[in-house]
Amino acid sequence: MVNRQKILIVDDDSNIAELISLYLTKECFETMIAGDGETALLLADSFAPNLILLDLMLPGIDGYQVCREIRAKSSIPIIMLSAKGEIFDKVLGLELGADDYMEKPFDSKELVARVKAVLRRYKPATVIPQASDVKCVEYADLTINQTNYSVVYMGRTIDMPPKELELLYFLASSPNHVFTREQLLDQIWGYEYIGDTRTVDVHIKRLREKISDHANWKIATIWGIGYKFEVRQ
């Protein structure tokens, strides 16, 4: 019997949480509900979910803080849910490490589709792959391994959420190739992101905070177009 993937639903509105649980259960997911931030942090460890749906407005510890604390110790995919649709809220959520952001009210089919899309892109290796299957690129002082989701920079392992790593790997796999923000959204997120290309900018900003320009390479901005992983000859 195939183990069902587990989704932790964090929302203080029990009606919404139960409805989301119903949608996901129909898609053969196993669900657990937390009504506040403290319970969510406990269940993130004990329930060991494959993905967390996290409401921002929670009693006690809010969704931003929950995301911050989970991200400090884990790369579990997180999709934030909120009735707050301002760009600032979206950007802050993404900067804290969320993998996606959905505004309430949302369509149940879109929610399920986004859950599946994020999970498709976050698959921790469960078997040792053959050498030919390893997705890894290496440059001076930088190794990006998408097979085991690890990044080693200047001899140190860098903690990096899945989307950041996938974006870095995609760029570094095609050195000196310029990609538009729309192309990067399509490649990394895999679906239309409602035209919000700031998502890419936020993730690039976070990458640059962790990985500084090197004498041999850097993440370069091509103004008015997008980004490239520039390798100096």
Residue count of the chain, please give it: 233
**In the predicted model, is pLDDT for residue 193 greater than 80?**
no
Task: Give the per-residue pLDDT at 96.
Answer: 82
Cβ burial, residue 100 (10 Å; 0-12/13-18/19+): buried
| Confidence check: pLDDT of 132 > 70 | no
Q: Does residue 169 register a pLDDT over 70? A: yes
3-state secondary structure of 21: helix
| Average pLDDT of span 167-174 | 93
pLDDT at residue 1, as a whole number: 42
| Tokens describing residue 13 | 């509105």
SS3 221: strand
Contact 157, 210 (CB under 8 A): no
- Between 1-5, 124-128, 144-148, the lowest mean confidence (pLDDT) is in 124-128
How much is the pLDDT for 124? 55
pLDDT digits (tens, 9 = 90+) for 80-124: 998 776 777 778 888 888 888 888 888 889 999 999 988 887 755
Domains with residue ranges and CATH for the chain: 6-120 (3.40.50.2300), 131-231 (1.10.10.10)
What pLDDT is attached to residue 91?
A: 80
Q: What is the pLDDT of residue 95?
A: 80
Buried residues in 201-221 as b, exposed as e (16+ CB within 10 A): bbbbebbeeebeebeebbbbe
**pTM score, whole prediction:** 0.58
Q: Using CA of residue 22, residue 77, residue 62, residue 34, what is the dihedral sign?
A: positive
- Mean pLDDT across the chain: 86
Confidence of residue 127 (pLDDT cuts 50, 70, 90): very low
Q: What is the pLDDT of residues 6-43, one digit of tens each?
A: 999 999 999 999 999 999 999 999 999 999 999 999 99
Q: What is the pLDDT of residues 65-79, one digit of tens each?
A: 999 899 888 888 999
Higher-confidence residue of 192 and 117: namely 117
Among residues 151, 79, 90, the alpha carbon closest in space to that of 121 is found at: 79
pLDDT for the residue 89: 75
